[in-house]
Amino acid sequence: MRVTILGCSGGIAADSRTTCLLLDDDILVDAGTGAGDLTRDALLRIDSVFLTHAHLDHIALLPMLVNMAGPHRKTPIDIYALPETITALRQHIFNFRIWPDYTAPSVFTRPYLAFRPIGVGETVELSGRRITPLPVRHTIPAVAYRLDSGAASCVFSGDTGYHEPFWEALRGMDDLRHLMIEVTFPDDDTGDASASGHMHPELLVRGLANLDGSRPLDVLISHMEPGREEAIMAGILARAGVFPAFSLKRLERGQVYSF
């Protein structure tokens, strides 16, 4: 399984793209502005999109992806998400006011997308790749994803604050190699972090303390607010000595992870 980071910033700016991960060449996790860097041919290869939640930075380009690829496909693009996320997309985006409802049989002879509701713990297997929603806590219903190639696992947190069941789920994974986790705010902004359901370095350290610190783990920090990356990483690296077996680094656009 190969994960290419198309976007992993908490906001937009030149060279910053919001959340979008490409799995192999046919699956997206979230469809933030990073999706816009794919070529047309690459976009046409996307068969499935797994959404962590309905916030705009994670779904921004989904409507236009479906609009571009839909007419050229024989089958709909599968959109996997929590039922609450699907309801929000139907009500507020694919409603013929913001964007067409590509599932409406009265307008489209064949649907361009298919919503596939999923729940925490329900694994979707696509050509041997196992993708499982994990529990997180955010301001709206949201999930993380475990991406399991059969050889190893990578977990992508999406947006979350500190959530004990998330860390419990990680503790039960023997094959966890990469943990891609959001830390949106620095420690001098804990008020914003807790009001908006996000992490700051102190919470990351609290979470990592749940894991077996003697086993190597690649911890990759995502979703940092543009302009505050150095303060956030400084807060994390100042405490890195507690976890000598863990590698703590920034997740960056353009990186590729194979596992």
Where do contacts with Zn ion occur on this chain (CB under 5 A)?
55, 57, 159
Looking at the Cβ atoms of 51 and 69, the one nearer to Zn ion is 51
- Measured from the CB of residue 74, what is the shortest distance to Zn ion in angstroms? 33
Closest CA to 79 of 58, 95, 99: 58
Angle between the N-to-C axes of helices 229-237 and 201-208, in degrees from 0 to 180, rounded to the nearest 10: 40
Looking at the Cβ atoms of 101 and 159, the one nearer to Zn ion is 159
- The total number of residues shown for the chain amounts to 259
Looking at the Cβ atoms of 103 and 194, the one nearer to Zn ion is 194
- Measured from the CB of residue 239, what is the shortest distance to Zn ion in angstroms? 24
- Measured from the CB of residue 214, what is the shortest distance to Zn ion in angstroms? 32
H helix runs in the chain, sequence order: 40-44, 56-59, 62-69, 83-92, 164-171, 190-195, 201-208, 229-237
CB 2 within 8 Å of CB 23: yes
Looking at the Cβ atoms of 57 and 187, the one nearer to Zn ion is 57
- Measured from the CB of residue 53, what is the shortest distance to Zn ion in angstroms? 6
Looking at the Cβ atoms of 148 and 159, the one nearer to Zn ion is 159
Closest CA to 193 of 205, 179, 183: 183
Q: How far apart are CA 191 and CA 196, in angstroms?
A: 9
- Measured from the CB of residue 60, what is the shortest distance to Zn ion in angstroms? 10
Q: Name residue 129's amino acid.
A: R
